[in-house]
């Protein structure tokens, strides 16, 4: 467990954000404090005075998390940072409708002018201790102590699988880094007892069944849905670990698929 104290304020507007906050509170280090503020779900098209929509007093914070489900809330984040004294902000993009890429860039620039670090991971579970997703094949590096500390625990899923060599069965899964919403932890629990042959596919299904709440609309930055991109992060993490234990099936010319032979990789790794 980390002994670094951190005060967090989460901005929510609905159930999407509430689920994230509940998971963080349940599994964060004991030295963290997590408060939340429910922002207005409806804002006028033009917000000239953001301070009018933010309380005069909010809990002091080192880090602000935005889980808003409406784009207008991004306009309030600089005022929230100023009131709370926060020097770091994470505003995830699990839907372009909630935080369009142009507005995300403006938000980073506004906060930079205030001396506040801001990352806008797309999707939210692409965040690591040093970078976050921006578009397909492209990550954005950052340097900020509070965000990096948070990303040690929540962000891009990182599971550690224990696999029995003789049975090729997943015997235990440790969650090194959970997703914000808890989908990685849910997936980890569902993998125990599965064959190495089935774990990768089941990881994707478990992530879907949690369910992931990232957008199901095609995102032009990825040519895919953000829900699918999110699912691939945990599936790829599992695939890398089970690959040495999977059976290798091959076909002999003149036989049917039912006659396929099966061998194991001769040098499995892991334990």
Q: How confident is the model at residue 3 (pLDDT cuts 50, 70, 90)?
A: low
Is 263 a domain residue? no
| Residue pLDDT, tens place only, 189-200 | 999 999 999 999
Across 101-127, average pLDDT: 97
Residue 264: is its pLDDT beyond 60? no
What's the confidence (pLDDT) of residue 43? 77
What's the confidence (pLDDT) of residue 174? 98
Domain containing 177 equals: 158-248
The 8-class DSSP code of residue 70 comes to S
| Residue pLDDT, tens place only, 226-246 | 999 999 999 999 999 999 999
Comparison of pLDDT for 174 and 56, the residue scoring more: 174
Q: Is residue 133 domain-shared with residue 162, that is, in the same domain?
A: no
Is 120 a domain residue? yes
What's the confidence (pLDDT) of residue 239? 97
Longest dimension (CA), the chain: 78
Q: Is residue 130 domain-shared with residue 230, that is, in the same domain?
A: no
Report the b/e string of 11-32 with b at 16+ CB within 10 A: bbbeebbebbbebbeeebeeeb
Q: Is residue 73 domain-shared with residue 120, that is, in the same domain?
A: yes
Is 268 a domain residue? no
Residue 2: is its pLDDT beyond 70? no
Is 55 a domain residue? yes
Q: How confident is the model at residue 4 (pLDDT cuts 50, 70, 90)?
A: confident
Q: Is residue 242 domain-shared with residue 173, that is, in the same domain?
A: yes
Mean residue pLDDT of the chain comes to 91
Q: How far apart are CA 168 and CA 241, in angstroms?
A: 12
Q: Is residue 97 domain-shared with residue 183, that is, in the same domain?
A: no
Q: Is residue 109 domain-shared with residue 218, that is, in the same domain?
A: no
Q: Is residue 12 domain-shared with residue 119, that is, in the same domain?
A: yes
Q: Is residue 43 domain-shared with residue 137, that is, in the same domain?
A: yes
Q: How confident is the model at residue 252 (pLDDT cuts 50, 70, 90)?
A: low
Residue 215: is its pLDDT beyond 80? yes
Q: Is residue 140 domain-shared with residue 27, that is, in the same domain?
A: yes
Q: How far apart are CA 148 and CA 127, in angstroms?
A: 9
Is 97 a domain residue? yes
Of the residues 151, 176, 194, which one is the last residue of a structural domain? 151
Residue 251: is its pLDDT beyond 70? no
| Residue pLDDT, tens place only, 70-97 | 999 999 999 999 999 999 999 999 999 9
What's the confidence (pLDDT) of residue 268? 46
The number of domains in the chain is 2
Of the residues 112, 128, 151, which one is the last residue of a structural domain? 151
Q: Is residue 190 domain-shared with residue 227, that is, in the same domain?
A: yes
Q: Is residue 145 domain-shared with residue 236, that is, in the same domain?
A: no
Across 145-174, average pLDDT: 97
What's the confidence (pLDDT) of residue 51? 79
Task: Provide the percentage of residues in the chain whose pLDDT is more than 70.
Answer: 89
Of the residues 120, 151, 182, which one is the last residue of a structural domain? 151
Q: Is residue 81 domain-shared with residue 180, that is, in the same domain?
A: no
Determine if residue 145 is left, alpha or beta; phi over 0 gives left, psi from -120 to 50 gives alpha, anything else beta: alpha
């Amino acid at each position: 467990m980390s002994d670094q104290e951190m005060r967090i304020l989460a901005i929510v507007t609905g159930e999407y954000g509430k689920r994230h906050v509940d998971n963080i509170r349940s599994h964060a280090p004991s030295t963290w404090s997590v408060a939340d503020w429910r922002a207005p779900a409806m804002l006028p098209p033009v917000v000239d005075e953001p301070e009018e929509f933010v309380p005069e007093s909010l809990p002091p914070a080192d880090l602000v998390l935005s889980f808003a489900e409406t784009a207008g809330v991004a306009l309030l984040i600089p005022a929230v940072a100023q009131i709370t004294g926060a020097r770091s902000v994470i505003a995830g993009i699990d839907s372009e409708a909630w935080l369009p890429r142009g507005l995300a860039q403006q938000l980073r620039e506004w906060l930079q002018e205030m001396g506040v670090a801001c990352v806008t991971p797309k999707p939210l579970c692409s965040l690591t201790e040093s970078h976050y997703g921006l578009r397909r094949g492209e990550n954005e590096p950052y340097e900020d102590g509070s965000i990096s500390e948070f990303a040690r625990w929540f962000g891009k899923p990182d599971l550690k699988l224990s696999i029995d060599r003789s049975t090729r069965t997943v015997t235990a899964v440790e969650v090194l880094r959970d997703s914000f919403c808890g989908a990685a932890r849910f997936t980890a629990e569902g993998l125990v007892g599965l064959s190495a042959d089935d774990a990768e596919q089941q990881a994707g299904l478990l992530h879907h069944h949690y369910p992931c709440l990232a957008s199901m609309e095609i995102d032009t930055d990825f040519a895919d849905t953000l829900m699918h991109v999110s699912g691939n992060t945990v599936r790829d993490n599992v695939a890398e670990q089970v690959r040495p234990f999977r059976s290798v099936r091959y076909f002999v010319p003149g036989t049917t698929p039912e006659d396929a032979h099966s061998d194991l990789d001769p040098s499995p790794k892991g334990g």
